[in-house]
Amino acid sequence: MQINIKKFKLFLEQNVFFNDVKSLKHINRGGTSCNFVCNTIKAKYLLKAINKQQFPRVIRLCNILQALEKEQKIYSPHLIKFQNKPYFEYEQWLILIIEFIDGKKLNAKQIDNQLIDKIFVSYQNIKNLNSDTSEQRRIENIYTENKSMLDNLLFENKNFIKHKILQSVYTLNEKLNNKTIPTKASQIIHGDASLNNCLEDANKKIAMLDFELIRLGYPVEDWAEFLISSLFQHQIYFFSTKKLKSLIFHCNKLFLFEKSDWKYGIDLYFLNLINKRLKSKKIFKSMRKAWLFSLNNKKYQVITDLINSMY
């Protein structure tokens, strides 16, 4: 259910900012939340509206944002309290008010070793966060869950094209049943690393966004996701292999990643991608998207062949 902008703005003027709202703009909508930019005379704020049914998520997000504020070495937006409240109730929504960092999203062409160094400055301190985290994602658990969902879909879908697409995804899932686990100790990681969650401000500093999925894991999980999700949307065959090798070698210097680490991180990325699409039930939202999703088999082969060639 969408939020009426005029009514919402009136609520904010009367209960939060007290006649200080210059503008309110809806910027995007997730499955259970809406995001707005609120411009007041004093400052800009990001407003996140989350359905009351997701109350535990709101409490967890508040705790994460407060933990980020205490960890000064991580450059990220902080929770802003008004009247000493961490959130406000509006109709069926809970409203969080978050610091607005004015900047621009990055694109794949900007990725180089210097950009990774800038992100690393904040990233290396994530492990110090004093906040509840999600449990570590286990390859064998995700693989088994995916296999069960795919078995059911293959049984239900007799359409030739859909069956072919599902078989392609099923084949990829079978390839990803990797028993290799990094020898390093697990730690707190971002959990949703991509260019979409990085912002470059006017001073060329990189802010990290959206820590809502922080969990226990290995840094290679984040960096495999960062490189694959950022570089390989629809350009996997056109991106410079030389440049990608340079980025991977640079990550190796920073984190001491080994071949087995990359193998684990890449497999987990694709397993999570399959899991997310199957759970959202959007795998056949359009046949074009379904075909593109089935091409992850090719993407996986390209990136694993590249890693194998480097060791």
Domain boundaries, the chain: 5-100, 108-310
Which amino acid would we find at residue 218? Y
> Residue 241: what pLDDT?
78
In angstroms, rounded to a whole number, what is the distance separating the alpha carbons of residues 263 and 306?
Answer: 11
In angstroms, rounded to a whole number, what is the distance separating the alpha carbons of residues 149 and 204?
Answer: 44
Q: Indicate the burial class of 202 (C-beta count within 10 angstroms; 0-12, 13-18, 19 or more).
A: exposed
> Residue 19: what pLDDT?
73
In angstroms, rounded to a whole number, what is the distance separating the alpha carbons of residues 28 and 189?
Answer: 25
β-bridge pairing 103-105 and 215-217: unpaired
CA–CA distances in Å: residue 78 to residues 32, 98, 211: 21, 6, 11
Residues counted in the chain = 311
CATH for 108-310, options being 3.30.450.70, 3.90.1200.10, 3.30.360.10, 3.20.20.10: 3.90.1200.10
Q: Indicate the burial class of 39 (C-beta count within 10 angstroms; 0-12, 13-18, 19 or more).
A: middle
* pLDDT tens series, the chain, 311 aa: 689 999 999 999 999 998 789 999 998 755 568 999 999 988 999 999 999 999 999 999 999 999 999 998 999 999 999 999 999 999 999 999 999 999 998 888 888 999 999 999 999 999 999 988 888 989 999 999 999 999 999 999 889 999 999 999 999 999 999 878 888 889 999 999 988 899 999 899 999 999 999 999 999 999 999 998 887 555 555 567 788 889 999 999 999 999 999 999 999 999 999 999 999 888 888 888 888 888 889 889 988 999 999 98
> Residue 181: what pLDDT?
85
* Number of Cβ within a 10 Å radius of residue 74: 20
In angstroms, rounded to a whole number, what is the distance separating the alpha carbons of residues 100 and 121?
Answer: 20
> Residue 85: what pLDDT?
94
CA–CA distances in Å: residue 308 to residues 122, 220, 260, 303: 30, 16, 10, 9
pTM of this structure:
0.89
Fold of 5-100: Phosphorylase Kinase; domain 1 (3.30.200)
Residue 245 CB partners (closer than 8 Å, separation 6+): 306, 310
DSSP string, 224-278: HHHHHHHH-SS-TTTS-HHHHHHHHHHHHHHH---HHHHHHHHHHHHHHHHHHHH
Q: What are phi and psi of 72, to 5 degrees?
A: -65, -20
Question: What b/e sequence results for 267-291 when a residue is b if at least 16 CB atoms lie within 10 Å of its CB, and e otherwise?
Answer: bbbbbbbbbebbeeeebbeeeeebe
